[in-house]
Amino acid sequence: MVISQPATPERGTGAQLDQQYPDSFNSRARQQLLKQALRGHRRNRRLDMGTQDSTTNMFAALAEEDDATETPTPVFDLEAETEEIIKTQKERLDIRAKVLRTYAEAITACTRYGLHIANEFQSTLLRHWNQDKQTYAASAGR
């Protein structure tokens, strides 16, 4: 509250503040500063006070504003998220199991084919061996 008063010769140039602000304003400002100084002084604080009042907490208004305009946070559904993780992991494991089965079937087929080739080779080798043995025995016996 600023009051403009005409400059009078009784008041000197050093009293310009008195011209702009009346005495009641100065005294009220001093009283307010003293009240705040007493409240904020460490010796006068109680240690068991966990919360600050709105005069000492300069961010109290912002906190109240944030609470008023804050949108509710979405609820995290742990069971649904767990089921989703289980589903995706199960799909991955099913795909891996299919690939493993396919490889196992291919390896089994290759093994059967290898055994078949080995048996054919063995029977052919034995047949040729016996045939050569008989031919040698026939030529030696003459």
pLDDT tens for each residue of 16-26:
555 555 566 67
Is 105 within the bounds of a domain?
yes
Percent of the chain with pLDDT over 90: 37
- 34 and 83 both lie in a single domain: no
Report the number of distinct structural domains present in the chain. 2
Residues spanned by the domain of 1: 1-6+14-42
What's the CA gap between 61 and 55, in Å, rounded?
A: 10
Is 59 within the bounds of a domain?
no
- 95 and 37 both lie in a single domain: no
Is 58 within the bounds of a domain?
no
Q: What pLDDT shows up at residue 95?
A: 97
Helix then strand then coil, in percent of the chain rounded to 5, is: 70, 0, 30
Q: What pLDDT shows up at residue 140?
A: 78
* Angle, CA 22 vertex, CA 16 and CA 27 arms, to 5°: 115
pLDDT tens for each residue of 80-126:
999 999 999 999 999 999 999 999 999 999 999 999 999 999 999 99
Is 32 within the bounds of a domain?
yes
Is 108 within the bounds of a domain?
yes
- 94 and 38 both lie in a single domain: no
